[in-house]
Amino acid sequence: MIRHLGAQRPRGHGRRRRDGRTYPCGGGGFLTLPPLTSPPARELVGLARPRVWRNLLLGTVGVMLIVAAAIGIVIATRRNGSPIPLTSALTATPGGIDLAEVLNGTFSANSFNGTWISDNEFLFRSENGALKMFTVETQSTEELVSQEIMAEWRPFKYSLSPSRKFLLVVHDVQKLFRYSYLARHTILNLETGESIPLAPQRVRSRNDQPPLLYATWAPTDDALAFVSHNDLYYTTGPDLATMYRLTDTGQIGSIFNGIPDWVYEEEILSSNSALWFGPNGLRLAFATFNDSRVDTMNFPLYGRPGDLSFQYPIQQSIKYPKPGRFNPVVDLWVVDLAKLISGSSDTVTRLPPPATLSNVDHYFTTVGWASPDFVSVNWMNRHQNVNILSICQAESGVCSDDLVHESPDKAWNDLYTPPMFDEANGDTYLIILPTFQGDRGHFKHINFRRSSDKTLTPLTTGTYEVVDILSWDRKNHIVYFTAAPSGRPGQRHIYYVGDLSSPQPKQAYCITCGFKNDFNEDCNYNSAEMSKDGTYYVLTCGGPGIPQVTLHRASDHSRLRLIEDNQEVRERLLDRSLPLEKRLEIDVAGGFKAQVSMKLPPDYNPTRFQSYPMLVYVYGGPGSQLVSDRFRIDWGDYLASERGIIYASIDGRGSGYSGDKLLHSLYYGLGTAEVDDQIAVTSALQKSFPFIDSSRTAIWGWSYGGYVTAAALSKDVNNVFKCGISVAPVTSWIYYDTVYTERYMGLPTPDDNLRAYDASDITRNVTNFRNKEFFLIHGTADDNVHYQQSMMLSRALEVNDILFRSQSYPDENHGLAGVKRHHYHSMEDFLNDCFNKA
């Protein structure tokens, strides 16, 4: 998937891009109870500081509505129809957002860093770094590992064994790709304090300990599976006394067992793992990827300046399939661990693909366990418009096609999350599928499937999209899920619906609609993490205000305690003048509406004539979203508050959470509707609002957004944009990977879609760059969007004698994390030149 760390992409592409419609707000929010005093709420504060989003919905509604009426622009409103507030509680004394603060994460909000380990307990790191366990029923906290021991190991990740006597810590990490890494794995005995290096062979000291590619506990005992040098191992206990090597075919960079190759990691599994324990731990499913026929992509590593060991660059190689070329060959297997331990030779069973796919290129996208004896596998054809969900007997490997789904819009399918099975029998499950909603087309909804009679019944319906299924309370026949409300794709709410055995089947209710945090700010962007059986959940009110994390009982949604209020972030923002954000909807071609956000400088006054330069930040990839109610402080807040630049984002055709008609607008035509909408909407804004200086309007984007930026400059014949910045862009889809590109574009062959590949190729359409200022930025060690992409565009511009600015970052990957200060200073310098020339 193409993205960078600063842009939001649904894969949860986080991956799966699912959302929802408005249901009655049954109960309309939560009972607000005061937090308990023991243990202190601060003890449950999360230490993780992820990149976050911000939305302070402001606007001068009266003036805007008059202008909007003339051009078809609709100002966003609250759920109850009241207008967006005109002022923000966070806007205070002068002093904007500093760039260093944005890059350092000064205003990043703490999230819930806990992990549910039962229906009543979760692990978390305290503020001092100790590992603790919180028990909901007793509201008590127990320290499992002291801050001193955690500081000694500095774990990148950790997981508690089922017996709770051992902790697996991941340390000394060397990052590989987006999800994968090499790291040492050590087992800590929580009773004795002993540390046991996890490795295929015994090691004498920590310094001799080899790195592993992945390791995980079995679900019901203290056995482990792990991957070393691309081979899969199993050990029956933390003492490592009994060790089994399950595969011996692994080859670094070519054959992968239990871990994905590059393209499966990036585009399908979104994980560094390709193994799945059965629910009772007696069987283990895993995938093997053979990349022997996949073409190799080479790029140099230049190394440290002045270092003799880098007199010659080091060649790096990745097996990277590009459109129309060979894909990895994948096989799925199940190991019967009980037979393995007993000494049986018949322990491994292959799970074959469906007969209709066995002789053609195909993928698997999900693996799950329907029961201890049955495995579910979702398969796709290479074009990714046909899904076949197979149910396989784990012992025999006999599989049946339980559900065949073809894209109803004749576009692509989007099934990357395994079904949620009824653990009692494995015959029924929940799955998210496109569901027809009349003339509005298809929207993602929860469907109930019974395998025995092949029935498929929608549990949710309406013009909204389900994002994900949180939990299925079989006892009370309730399904909890996250959805984006109808007409408000930038919001996320938590809902529940009765399953088919419920007294009120298929009746859905919104839990968080109308809910506010402790500062009386709307909670429009919510997420929840349910306990193992769904008795409790941790709710994150993620925006538009500063995030707040609370613990709730699911039966009545009552609040049990405050976990995190991010008071420090709130205090840091009190003395800042923040941008004012205007939200709009603008009509675009096809009868659709684009969602628009504009962050205006704090001194904006609608009664005073003053024009500002504007920078449009674009992503634009299928299913993406930039305009949302999620809290964030980013580069745009700095530019608006300190540099007086309007910072705009536009979600047009192809964006997510508004149904498949809008989403599938880009099918077999990347570089068309999503680019046209950036130009058309920006032009409409310029014509409608005199405070936008049309002579000083720029566009920028990263990754897919870099592609849309370059495409917009190449198609913008009316000079809507004076300049643009493309960071790590795709410039021709023939150079990107098979899975992502062919999902939307098919194959680059004359009998399929070569014409669209050619039409979308920026290197073939550079004439219009002659009238623009263009800045091209790329890291030379980008494993995702290769440096080759920018070099091809550079070559096309140079042979046409078109001047442009270019910045190459040696040995930097797609995220440019090692040079972020230089990167952002360079972009600001370019904008200064562009706007001053205008």
Output 38 or 803, whichever has higher pLDDT.
Answer: 803
Best CA proximity match to 670, nearest among 626, 721, 620, 739: 620
| pLDDT value of residue 161 | 98
Joined tokens for residue 56: 């302070």
Interatomic CA distance for residues 431 and 460, integer angstroms: 11
Contact 542, 630 (CB under 8 A): yes
Nearest by Cα to 13 from 633, 816, 491, 656: 656
- Asked, for residue 741, whether it belongs to a domain, the answer is yes
HSE at residue 740, side-chain half, CA atoms within 13 A, is 29
* 700 strand-pairing partners: 617, 725
Work out the average pLDDT over 338-345. Answer: 94
Choose, from 782, 783, 790, 811, the residue flagged as catalytic. 782
pTM for the model stands at 0.90
Q: What is the DSSP string of 29-90?
A: S----PPPSSS-GGGG------------B---HHHHHHHHHHHTEEE-B-TTSPBPPSS-TT
How far apart CA 629 and CA 726 sit, in angstroms, is 26
* Amino acid (one-letter) located at 672: T
Do 788 and 323 touch, CB atoms closer than 8 A?
no
The answer to whether residue 376 scores a pLDDT higher than 90 is: yes
The model's confidence at residue 660, banded by pLDDT at 50, 70 and 90, is very high
Cα separation, 159 vs 164, whole angstroms: 10
- Per-residue pLDDT at 389: 98
| Model confidence at 591: pLDDT above 80 | yes
Q: Please state the rounded mean pLDDT for residues 53-68.
A: 35
Based on its alpha-carbon atoms, the radius of gyration of the chain, rounded to whole angstroms, reads 27
Q: Give per-residue pLDDT as tens, 192-210.
A: 999 999 999 988 778 899 9
CA distance 644 to 653: 29
152 within a domain of the structure (yes/no): no
Q: Cβ distance 586 to 652 under 8 Å?
A: no
Question: How far is residue 11 from each of residues 148, 520, 526, 622, 753, measured CA to CA in Å?
Answer: 37, 32, 17, 11, 25
Q: How far apart are CA 757 and CA 670, in angstroms?
A: 8
Residue 600: predicted pLDDT: 98
- For 759, the token pair is 């039409």
Mean pLDDT over each residue of the chain, to the nearest integer? 90
* Within a domain: 102: no
Which of 119, 20, 35 lies closest to 526, judged by CA?
20
Lowest mean pLDDT segment, chosen from 42-46, 253-257, 711-715: 42-46
- On whether residue 774 sits in a domain, the answer given is yes
Residue with the two structure tokens 């302070």: 56
Q: In the annotation, is 814 catalytic?
A: yes
Output the pLDDT for position 755.
98
Q: Which of 4, 442, 664, 814 is catalytic?
A: 814
For residues 759-779, average pLDDT = 98
DSSP-derived secondary structure for 528-543: EEE-TTSSEEEEEE-S
Measured CA to CA, the distance from residue 273 to residue 287 in angstroms comes to 9
On whether the CB atoms of residues 604 and 691 are closer than 8 A, the answer is: yes
* Helix-helix angle 61-71:673-688, to 10 degrees: 120
Distances, alpha carbon 764 to alpha carbons 89, 102, 710, 773, 794, in Å: 50, 37, 12, 18, 12
Position 69 pLDDT exceeds 70: no
409: number of Cβ within 10 Å: 16
How many CB atoms lie under 10 A from the CB of residue 830? 21
Are 274 and 285 in contact, with CB atoms under 8 Å apart? no
- Whether 58 shows a pLDDT value over 80: the answer reads no
pLDDT at 207: 84
- Whole-number pLDDT of residue 87: 28
Q: What confidence score (pLDDT) does residue 335 get?
A: 99
Per the CB < 8 A criterion, the answer to whether 652 and 433 are in contact is no
Q: Which of 703, 726, 760, 790 is catalytic?
A: 703
pLDDT at residue 36 above 80?
no
How far CA 85 is from CA of 89, 359, 688, in Å, comes to 10, 59, 21
| Average pLDDT over every residue of 306-318 | 97
Q: Residue 465 falls within a domain, yes or no?
A: no
Question: For residue 734, what is the domain's CATH number?
Answer: 3.40.50.1820
DSSP string, 439-499: GG-EEEEEEEEETTTTEEEES--SSSEEEEEEEEETTTTEEEEEEEPTT-TT-BEEEEEE-
- Indicate the number of domains in the chain: 1
**Number of CB atoms found within 10 A of residue 164's CB:** 16
Do residues 517 and 523 make contact, with C-beta atoms less than 8 angstroms apart?
yes
Residue 182 domain flag:
no
CA–chain centroid gap for 98, Å, is 27
The tokens for 399 are 């599989």
**Is a pLDDT exceeding 50 seen at residue 356?**
yes
Residue 118, domain member (yes or no): no
Q: Identify the pLDDT of residue 77.
A: 33
635-643 and 820-837 are packed helices; what angle lies between their axes, rounded to 10 degrees?
Answer: 40
Q: Tokens 């966003």 map to which residue?
A: 76
What is the span of the domain harbouring residue 706?
Answer: 577-836
In sequence order, the β-bridge partners of residue 516 are 522
Is residue 453, in this structure, part of any structural domain at all? Answer: no
**Per-residue pLDDT, 824:** 99
Task: Give the pLDDT band of residue 695 (cuts 50, 70, 90).
Answer: very high
- Whether the CB-CB separation of 5 and 817 falls below 8 Å is answered with yes
Residue type, position 650, single letter: I
Strand-pairing partners, residue 496, are 480, 509
| pLDDT score recorded for residue 24 | 30
* 248 catalytic per annotation: no
Active site (annotated) includes residue 677: no
